[in-house]
Amino acid sequence: MNAPVTKDAERVIELSNDSFSRRDEAALPAVQSAGNAGSLLQAIERVASNPSMDIAKIERLFAMHQQLMAKEAEAAFNDAMARAQAKIVPVVANQTNTHTQSMYADLAAISKVITPLFTAEGLSISFDADRPILGADGKPLPPPPQGWFRTIAIVSHAVGHSRLHHIDLPSDEVGVKGNTNKTPIQGVVSMTTYGRRVLTCMVFNVAIGDEDGNGGGETRQSVDMPRTKTKQDNSPLSDGERNHIKNKMEHAALTEIDLKAKFGKTLAELTNDDFAAAKAWISNPSA
């Protein structure tokens, strides 16, 4: 007489990619949960100890175990990313692009703020320039165009799941006026730094307090965004913000005398509350 098919045996059948006979399935040890890779592994170990068990069935069970492990790792990755992003706050711009007279946060400033937050959740990010990237159709993406370079971010979680993100950029050897301002090596380094910064912000959804789209040493089109303030801030400007105002004043042919007449303060006395107003004044001194 055939052994009865138990409820636990039916759970194993649900996990299977290929149908087993109900008779063989009833002989398998019970699996406590259809979505638990650890329970399935215990079942596989018990099945493997039975010399009469079909090796092909054991191999299929092990493949199911690997699939469950991958799903659990992906779920842990998503949970960790959500927790990390919930903690990440906007990063204050700390550098000035003298070519575009706009501010940006360099990679060091971004990393200083966010790295302790995402590593505490078991996440890490590393970079590469030469590994296969699969498109939505599952096929490898073509290489970047001639003269362009690919920067790849590998975002990993301690449980084992990883994701790849990439950006293709040209070498950054030419300034905004079309003049060559870097050696080929410097251009590649500048482009790579920019790519790493952009990818880091994309992966962890990082906002910049005075975001402009420029990177450390790179010369790219900027979008000078106004700073959003929620409460009064009379703290002094940072060195980067002060240099930003100074450079904009020089570009607009304004002096500290003009600044003093408008705000009743010297450049060194300006506070964070004055920052947005000072930029607006420099853009339209007659207003």
**Tokens read off for 6:** 């138990």
Q: Are residues 208 and 276 in the same domain?
A: no
Number of domains composing the chain:
3
> What is the rounded CA–CA span in Å between residue 147 and residue 262?
48
pLDDT of residue 87: 93
For residue 188, being part of any structural domain is answered with yes
Contact (Cβ atoms closer than 8 angstroms) between residue 166 and residue 149: no
> Which distant-in-sequence residues (6+ apart) come within 8 Å of 180 by Cβ?
173, 174
Sheet containing strand 148-157, edge to edge, reads 123-128, 148-157, 162-170
- CB-based burial label for 257 (10 Å; 0-12, 13-18, 19+): exposed
User: Do residues 216 and 100 share a domain?
Assistant: yes
Can you tell me the distance from the alpha carbon of 116 to that of 111, in angstroms, rounded to the nearest whole number? 8
Q: CA-CA distance, 177 to 179, in Å (whole number)?
A: 6
Same domain, 185 and 128: yes
* Same domain as 243, residue 221: no
Q: Say whether both 159 and 278 belong to one domain.
A: no
- Rounded to whole angstroms, the Cα distance separating 219 from 115 reads 26
What is the domain range of residue 68?
A: 7-74
Per-residue pLDDT of the chain (287 residues; tens, 9 = 90+): 444 434 343 333 333 334 333 334 444 444 433 446 566 666 667 666 677 777 777 777 778 878 888 898 999 999 999 999 999 988 988 888 776 667 888 999 999 999 999 999 999 999 999 888 888 788 888 988 888 899 999 999 999 999 999 999 988 776 666 677 678 888 888 889 999 999 999 999 999 875 434 433 333 333 233 344 445 667 888 777 787 788 788 878 888 888 888 889 898 888 888 888 888 888 888 76
Q: Is residue 84 part of a domain?
A: no
pLDDT at residue 66, as a whole number? 82
Residues 95 and 34 in one domain: no
pLDDT at 136: 79
Same domain membership, residue 14 and residue 118:
no
